[in-house]
Structure 1
Amino acid sequence: MEEVKNTVYVYVDESGSITKTNISNNRYFIIAMLFTDNPTAIRRLFKKKISQLIKNDSKRKETLIKNKEIKGSDISESKKLQIYQHVLTHGKDTLELGIIVLDNNYATDKFIENHARAFNYLVQVYFDSCYRKHSKYMTGSGKIEILLDEQNVATGAKYNLEEYLNQQLTMSNPICDSFAANYTDSKNEKLVQLADFVANTFYRNIEKKDENSAENIKLWMDSLCGDDIFDFSEAHDIKLNF
């Protein structure tokens, strides 16, 4: 996306599933949303650390050449720590993180029967609540451009996210003048890849209770919109594991 003045850019990926299948191992669905008004700077920071990461790692270099990207699930939390530290040390002022967590135990069969509709609803509620009340980018005007990984949320989509958000959030008590939502292969956008890394880190922490993710979660806390995850469950009992 080409940078435009008075525009907030949002890069989105997810981890886990909206499902009732094998729920003991698939309890949580997580959406990571990276907000920035300077994507060029954040992209440059991420690319630099990825290049350093693979410089002396022939296996990861081969993966990058073959797949055009490294997935967050294929990299350790200790390696991610180096990337996150660099991005947040130099780019924190132009970055904000939104994390939506759905507990599938509370999801009804009706809710999960259409992934795209459920996804759009989760995003809309997040914007209407957490973003509206807490985001440093909330002005009530300008444009919000969202870029999502097509592999996850675009396949079979019957519900148009852009149209939905514009209907819900730009007419009455608007949070911006307009929304744009587009889909891309994550191979083509480094910041969607970074969103994938972050979604996977929070998934490992919440779903897997992975102790190695704790330090990375702590790093992101100061950048979280509202200083916490957006807990989309009836009991609001989802806990981060530090």
Structure 2
Amino acid sequence: MIFYIDESGSINNHLSHNKHFVIALVRVLNKKSLKRSYKRFVSSNYDRLLELDKDKYHPKTGKLIKEGDKMFSNETFKELKGSQFDKEMKKSFVDFFSRKPSFELYIIKIKNSELTDQFCQNTARVFNYTIKLAMEYFIHRGYIPKEDCSLQLDERNEKTESRFFLENYLNTELSMNGTTDKKFDVTYYDSSDNNLIQIADVFANLYYSHLQTGGYKNELKKLEEAGILKFVFTFPKQ
């Protein structure tokens, strides 16, 4: 069992505009099929993706409002970044990947305003703790089986000193509390070298955008109806 994981937003309980932090977990059911879908999506939307990745300026002030060159380098494609997508491209992404489901999507929604200052002092602790709680919940409720599990994450979102903690933490906590005796393996990648982490990136940004604007209800419903979006785990619990 493999999960590809990325995030959107930041863990900070003192920013009024930053109410949530989102983690997307993509559980792959057919890796070969999903990789083919990824390649087809990029190739069929190449020109539009390139256009979206340009610097964006305010039409009246001329001020730079969105930096480009996140998905391309010298007009050569590097990776998908959900933060560069506009609303129409996000909708197209959902439409495309809902046609032939080869994965499941799980979302972790962290409510920043309900986190304590002490808890937020160590953002890696917040991240790791909620991953552990979510995995425990998914296993107990039967969403995912009790089997060895590989987690693949974007290395650019994790401090070097914290990278080896999550694997030991999951193996210790989930074994000691009786959740599972199976093993967890955690690996970090540069997302530009892992196209399935990029898919998690887009879904994390899409759900984060929905929390900000409420503008993606139809897309989330489509993912649910396709059997892709399995559960949204909220922390702290409602």
Matched to 1:218, the amino acid is K
Contact kept? 1:46, 1:83, Cα under 8 Å: no
Show the counterpart of 2:80.
70
Determine which structure has the larger strand proportion and give its number.
2
Structure 2: gaps of 5 or more residues: 55-68
Aligned length: 218
**TM-score scaled by structure 1?**
0.81
2-structure distance, mates of 1:184, 1:159: 13
Amino acid across the alignment from 1:182:
T
**2:103 aligned with 1:95, yes or no?**
yes
Residue 229 in 1 paired to residue 232 in 2? yes
Give the corresponding residue for 1:82.
92
Deviation larger for 107-116 or 213-222: 213-222
Task: Report what 1:209 is aligned to.
Answer: 213
Structure 1: 5+ residue runs without aligned partners?
Answer: 1-7, 237-242
Partner of residue 148, structure 1: 153
Which secondary structure does the structure 2 equivalent of 1:124 belong to?
helix
Whether 2:35 is the aligned partner of 1:43: answer: yes
1:107-126 equivalent positions in 2, closer than 5 A: 107-126=115-134
Distance 2:2 2:163 in 1: 24
Q: What is the CA distance between 1:172 and its match in structure 2?
A: 5.0
Question: Matches of 1:85 and 1:59 in 2, distance apart?
Answer: 20
Task: Give the drift of 1:160.
Answer: 0.8
> SS where residue 147 of structure 1 aligns?
strand
Does 2:46 align with 1:54? Answer: yes
1:60 deviation in Å?
5.2
Compared CA separation, residues 103 and 58, structure 1 to 2 (3 A): closer
Per-residue CA shift, 1:9-45, capped at 9, x if unaligned?
10000111111232x1011011000001322221221
User: What's the counterpart of residue 188 of structure 2?
Assistant: 183
Instruction: Give the alignment's Cα RMSD to 1 decimal.
Output: 2.2
Q: How high is the sequence identity, in percent, across the aligned residues? A: 29
Corresponding letter in the other structure for 1:28: H
Q: TM-score when scaled to structure 2? A: 0.83
